[in-house]
Amino acid sequence: MTIHVHLSPTEAGSSSAGVSSFATPAIDAEDTLRQVVTRLRTAKRIVVVSGAGVSTAAAIPDFRSASGLFSGKTMGGHSIKDLFHVRCLAHPTLLAKHHELITSLSSLSTAAPPTPFHTYLSSLDNEGRLLRCYTQNIDGLEEKTGLAVGIPSSKRKSPKAKGKENTPSLLSTPDTPETSSESPEPRVIPLHGLLSTLHCTLCHTILPLPPHLPLPPTSLPCPTCELASSIRSALSERSRKSGTLRASVVLYGEEHPEGESIGKSVSRDLKGVDMLLVCGTSLSVPGVKRVVKEMAKSTKSKGKGKGKQGQDVKTVFVNEEPPSKVSEWDGIFDIWVQGDVQKFVENYLQNPDFASTPTRASANKASPSAITKSSTPKRTPSTPKKRKLPTTYLPPTPVSLQKDNSSTESCQAYATPTKPQSSNAASYTSRGVTFTPPLTDEIRPIKRVKVERREREVSPTPLRKDEGSLPPSVEVRG
């Protein structure tokens, strides 16, 4: 169940009829807003998904609103949506209009200042609570607030060989940005690319876009490919095909060139997210819809954060209008804050006076006994000491039965005769063993047994019957 809160109470009545199928009006709008702000201030790993609605305050038009670029506007007889399709790159007439549109949007993005929403993202990052921001915008305003924008690399670092240094390529240009392996991981991932760069369709050389403005009505050749072609021509080698430069934005009808790296980043963030904030988007792009649904599912499966009406406040949607195809978003968002995202940030999220006092519901429920109990200082619980068990006497183990000649004479012992090991044993020695009673402390009296020495009796040799006794003087020879 999604709870609906309107930032403008005067407009809430007129708009509530159209959103009844998507969200339920909040019982107490102010208290619900306090709960949302409190959750956003206490969350540790926030994932933000933003759309074009967060940049309209910087005079950058969105696409699908009533005043957006796709609202029936044309440029030279062609709709704006057609100029964002990949087929316009192969059509000379559409390419000229496409370059004109890119030039206009790039100029607006370069001159636009960051909005309060972008400043709020930077403050979350400085506090260490922004896990990731997935933006559909191509203006790059997040970078102006100090956030790292880009695609995380999926390649592992390889150890450098000894004696080798990183030498610049012969085909690189001074304007080519170099990536460092020690650079931090991008906090903002542009899902649809950026207007700030150009890239070659063949060799993937990346160049900044502003030096090439305005873009020509024809295709823009790649300087790296031209340099390689001139080198091959000087060496009398076979010429190769050269590429052209295009804006580094993802157009309709093509896949994201870094889609695999973005997918790996989403998989990593699913394991750590504890709060999802979706702002300024109608959620009509299939890839973005899939990311939001997976993030919401992962967020709802962790931790606590229940609100006044019993729901978990973990997924918040802030936008002027409900998402497209509201039937797909049943149970995805906990709170829908309807209104301008900039007002929500300035008046609530960045307002220190808001949500700093306890809510009215909690104040009414507080009783004098509860206040008295809370005012009394609690004693710090200590770990109870373990009671020492009484010492008991246990039966002797086989190890204690070993021979100990040193203690034989000092204690009373039981003397037991043993079989002699050799025939010349003259006497027997007694082995002393002390037996301790197993379950009592009483010492029983020990009897002393005296072993007397007995001489061995020599038996006479028996004679045969036919033998008699011979006189001592007769010598018998055999």
Q: What's the sign of the alpha-carbon dihedral 406, 409, 414, 416?
A: positive
Residue 231, C-beta contacts closer than 8 angstroms, at least 6 positions apart: 170
Classify burial at 62, counting beta carbons within 10 Å of its beta carbon; exposed 0-12, middle 13-18, buried 19 or more.
buried
Pairing of strands 206-208, 193-200: antiparallel
Single-letter residue type at 417: P
- Report the alpha-carbon distance of residue 289 to residue 282 in Å, rounded: 10
Q: Are 115 and 62 in contact (CB under 8 A)?
A: no
* DSSP three-state, residue 312: strand
Q: Are 314 and 353 in contact (CB under 8 A)?
A: no
What is the distance in angstroms between the CA of the first residue and the CA of the last residue of the chain? Answer: 126
Residue in 98, 118, 192, 199 annotated catalytic: 192
Radius of gyration of the chain, Cα coordinates, nearest whole angstrom: 45
Instruction: Give the single-character DSSP code of 256.
Output: -
192 assigned to active site: yes
Q: What's the sign of the alpha-carbon dihedral 347, 351, 353, 359?
A: positive
Classify burial at 316, counting beta carbons within 10 Å of its beta carbon; exposed 0-12, middle 13-18, buried 19 or more.
buried
The answer to whether 279 is a known ligand-binding residue is: no
Cis omega (within 30 of 0) on the bond before 214?
yes
Structure tokens at 275: 């709060």
Q: Which residues are catalytic?
A: 192
- Indicate the annotated binding residues: 200, 203, 222, 225
- Indicate the annotated binding residues for Zn(2+): 200, 203, 222, 225
